[in-house]
A and B are shown apart, each in its own frame.
Chain A
């Protein structure tokens, strides 16, 4: 039984460069979420997909950010023209709607981004 998988786990990039993170959810889960967490804060919602459809985006998701889930399985989160303020941990999560814990969301280990 594999959990949510994210890669790379760590990324250091120069300001202005583009970065992409990948997330592989738990296989039977049809919902996939992206969160961002900065030091001393709880995770903040960025966006979520149900199957391949992106159903909600936070105001935190500026136009430099784009997320895709083309076949309803894995997802990518791309940040273009990175800024130092983008330095954070990017958490992916997945869930399966329905059942007693229908909204329980299971997280991956996160991808740390440092913009220098």
Chain B
């Protein structure tokens, strides 16, 4: 799987949008971008994924650049419960569906 680069940490004000960047400059054409998060001591939780187009669901939006070398996860109205480590992962569906986790971004939502 291609590697990703994320900032190690970031703070966000409660009620504001949180924009989490991810670089994946070596992504190949058949690799998807996935986002997971892990709240302290719990198992990772799936958030969203995409290939080329921007995606939105009830949790977040995913913006992928046209060249696909970077993406941004947007939490539109961060709450204290969104405090977690967020992982950006690129995955080739043909590669046994395996996920390769990097270090992630530790997001702290402050009141």
A and B interact physically: no
